[in-house]
Structure 1
Amino acid sequence: MRTLIDNFVSGYLGEPIQEWSDKYGNIMNIRILFVNGFFTTEPEHVKIVLASQFDSFEKGPVFFQMMNSLLGTGVFNSDGERIGRIGSSMP
């Protein structure tokens, strides 16, 4: 967690994830506090999550609230029903 915070303040936020991907592989489970986060840098997985099987990967209200100020209501922060609901404050 310290590495992520340091890079947020002084560097590129995604840099540690790229380093971990190079070291451990394309799929990682990173536990931050009490939340499991799954990260992938595998291009085919990214394609599946963002395009071909988008509806199978719900982000949910917690992710939406955490990322809303950064990502808004666009595709990267939306479950299918939210797309196009500009100005929506809750999922």
Structure 2
Amino acid sequence: MRTTRIELEADAGSLAIERKTGSDTIRIDSILRDPKRGEQAWKTWELPARISDEDLFKVATEVQRRTDGHRGTNSMIHDYYREMQRFQA
């Protein structure tokens, strides 16, 4: 058994993380509920499944801010990072 998709919601937006069976790509879709002026409502990342931990953490930092609506603590970012790690090769 393996997880192929996770959907998360928080105050400012929602997030879908997926990696289809046999794929070498992790896809992350971030949607803001009420984007502010100049803010991108929908953002997609397509990352290699073998992405480094450091690079994945950088993406998790932006994902956390977009989904929660504010810059979070290190432990808040790690919550998103751990979910994203499920899809690494």
| TM-score, normalised with respect to structure 2 | 0.31
- Which protein is richer in strand relative to its size? 2
| TM-score, normalised with respect to structure 1 | 0.30
- Which protein is richer in helix relative to its size? 1
Structure of greater Rg: 1
